[in-house]
Amino acid sequence: MHAALETLTLSPEQLEIIRQILHRHVPQYAVWAFGSRTKGTAKPYSDLDLAVITTREPLPLSVHADLTDAFSESDLPWKVDLADWQLLSEAFRTEIAKHYVVLQKADKTNRLPENPRPPKH
């Protein structure tokens, strides 16, 4: 079930930091928050669980590493755990789909090819 953004236990400043990082590193993917911060059960220092909604190919390792580093180096006071949709079990996907918040929609105008091909000459 898609929940409203207002249900997230984040400050407006924290949400802005998260959105800036996502837009900088993975604008071509939708990103969903799930877990305790979407259900109202988070403690002050509970982590934030994010699912990057990859479609055909898993997130490249270098992009995953850069995204992880960006969150680690940010001013967010808690850990951000990243999950790659393509690497999750069907059972876990079903669990996430029960309650999530869309933090970012996929930017179709900024879509990178998932299987890049060299340019033709």
> What are the start-end ranges of the E strands in the chain?
30-34, 48-53, 80-84, 100-104
Q: Residue 92 corresponds to which tokens in the numbers above?
A: 């876990």
Our answer to whether residue 84 is catalytic in this structure is no
Rounded distance between C-alpha atoms, residue 30 and residue 102, angstroms: 7
Our answer to whether residue 66 is catalytic in this structure is no
Range 21-52 burial, b when 16+ CB lie within 10 A, else e: bbeebbbbbbbbbbbebbbeebeeeeebbbbb
Out of 47, 66, 69, 107, the active site residue is 47
Out of 49, 69, 81, 84, the active site residue is 49
Q: Which residue numbers are catalytic?
A: 47, 49
